[in-house]
Amino acid sequence: MTAGFASTSSSEVRERLRAARLRAFLAQQMPDTEIRFDEPMSRHTSFRIGGPADALLLPRTLEDLQRCVRLSIEMGLPLTIVGNGSNLLVRDGGIRGLTLKIADNLARIDLNGVELTAQSGAPLAAVSRFAAEHSLTGLEFACGIPGALGGGVIMNAGAYGGELAEVTTQVRAVDERGGLRVLSAAEMQFGYRTSALQGKKWIVFDVTMRLQPGGRTQIEARMADFTCQRESKQPLSLPSAGSVFKRPPGGYVGPLVEQLGLKGYRIGDAQVSEKHAGFIVNLGAARAADVLALIQYVRGRVQERFGIGLETEVRVIGEDA
């Protein structure tokens, strides 16, 4: 079976996944996993942008997750991992091969004393709320972060002076061969918006965090304050992928872009937010090409004026149309 599915060009991969026999084979091999063919990725990103995924898989157990990885190897098909799509831009041509989505299909949260273990698809905001409901402090900063835990721990997500590195004690992940790996906090090698898993083809399955007992009233008050700050500063009424650029040393991106007079600047329906210049928003019909062109324009202007090279925080995947 493997030889018959050996992959070559992306166009051939796409045609192969349109074949009825291969779709039937996938369904037979993954009976407990929901599979959607030619699925528009605009339905799965907070940007509301993205071409079709050839085959979108939604596993519900660790075993199904491992089976997906091994099946992609057996079939010779590329495998792309996505979470809830909050920090993601999918190009207009979509994604070839198999796309593995980990969101509410893998979002269980368990508690053992002050140790909280959550599956990688659990939204960070939901994990933060769960901790507060059980009078545990340490995750208040995450109450307004729109991403899922898996992507969050890979990039060491943080806000308001806190980050996941401060509470994470263990990460379980599936490696590129489908094996289960267990990493300690030290092995995760956390840094500013980075970890040892960034750039690896590993899939986070769950994360264990050690929190501290606290007063629920005080915890929820801090979360309410963070939420108010976020709502007052960020363009939450329009589709976006959050902060587009990483914070440069010694400053913030928003003020730099604002000094250039770029608030409201647009290419197509992609616009530098009029509320927060560190965000790019979709006014309704933006294409990924528009967003990428706008990112390049802003980077070029900042480099030219301030001599600062901006790094993108948004993950970009897929093919051009």
Active-site positions read 193, 243, 313
| Structure tokens belonging to residue 49 | 């942008």
Residues 6+ apart with CB under 8 A from 54: 13, 14, 17, 18, 37, 38, 94, 95, 96, 97, 98, 99
Please check whether residue 100 is in contact with residue 64, taking contact to mean a CB–CB distance below 8 angstroms: no
Residues 6+ apart with CB under 8 A from 313: 87, 155, 193, 242, 243, 244, 245, 246
Output helix, strand, coil percentages for the chain, rounded to the nearest 5: 35, 30, 35
Tell me the β-bridge partners of 162: 159
Interatomic CA distance for residues 266 and 22, integer angstroms:
42
Q: Is 99 exposed, middle or buried (0-12, 13-18, 19+ CB in 10 A)?
A: buried
Q: How many C-beta atoms lie closer than 10 Å to residue 225's C-beta? A: 13
| Per-residue DSSP letter, 247 | P
Please check whether residue 45 is in contact with residue 85, taking contact to mean a CB–CB distance below 8 angstroms: yes
